[in-house]
Amino acid sequence: MDAQFVLYYNPKINDLSAIKAVHLKNNMDVVLAPGSIAILDRGRLVAQCVFTTMLPNDDQLIHYGFDSTISICTIPLPLQVHNDSIDIIYPEIGKLNTNTVPIGIGLQQLYIKRTRYLIKNTVLDRSISKFYIDHIADSSLGGYVVTTQNRCIKSVKDCSRFELKFEPQQDIEFIVDEQARHSKKIFVLTALELFVEKQVPNLVQAKIIENRTIEFCQTDIKSILENQERIRQNIEALEKVDQSDIMIRYLKDLNPEDDNLQE
């Protein structure tokens, strides 16, 4: 059994202070049964903790207090969103017709989140040989994946552990990246207009979007506006005719167009 005193940071346990812990590693070929364990620091009993079952090659952190001599600050950096690919969306009934007007676009996007850790050892005469950061990935968008490999000593599905060491009064800046892929569909007119205006120039330059896709987006916007204008003109011409069948039909035609603009 290998045991080392370490400090580590886990915001789910305490988002302000480092945690004092013993890092146990079962390097034997036997299973260690659960029970309780006493922790001694320089011959002094400092904690009595629960000990969970350990299989061969298992490891666990047994924490027994907090350390206020380590200054820890986490800063979330601005979210980055990159469009990997863009597809044209057609109505189901007209997919085989080359003259069918598209109804929207589908985006395949890459989301990148970055967290900056600012950590300082404030003690004048103590170095820290092992300091762990347990970084828990964001669970939104189906779950982010931690992509930073530098100083990573352990990684599971939604959490990665990084190891640092500090000299007396040393401060370290450490950045952890995580990524998620997400698909998004745009049908709303205002969102399509904003996409064409703000994002298309950069996407063309990066060769992610073709001119054909831009033309489809512009055609979609133009088609919705033309249909609305035609229906409104017909309604204005018949506005003096109360509850006529043709008036009711035009109003029914206008509602789906309004829905396309406001969905």
pLDDT tens column, 91-117: 776 555 556 667 777 888 899 999 999
Return the percentage of the chain with pLDDT > 90, whole number.
45
Which of 186, 210, 239 delimits the end of a domain? 186
Cα–Cα distance between 130 and 4 in angstroms, integer?
9
User: Residues 185-206: what's their mean pLDDT?
Assistant: 64
- Give the number of domains in the chain: 3
Angle (CA) 130-154-166 rounded to 5° is 20
Which of 68, 89, 117 delimits the end of a domain? 68
Give 2 or 100, the one with higher predicted confidence: 2
Does position 261 have pLDDT exceeding 50, yes or no?
no
pTM of the model: 0.70
Return the percentage of the chain with pLDDT > 70, whole number.
67
Which of 41, 68, 95 delimits the end of a domain? 68
Give 162 or 99, the one with higher predicted confidence: 162
Does position 185 have pLDDT exceeding 80, yes or no?
yes
137 and 96 in a single domain? The answer is yes
Full residue range of the structural domain in which residue 24 is found = 1-68
Q: For residue 201, give Cα distances in angstroms to 133, 190, 205, 209, 244.
A: 40, 17, 6, 9, 48
Count other Cβ atoms within 10 Å, centred on residue 109: 16
User: Residues 72-97: what's their mean pLDDT?
Assistant: 80
Helix H or strand E segment including 79: none
DSSP 94: G
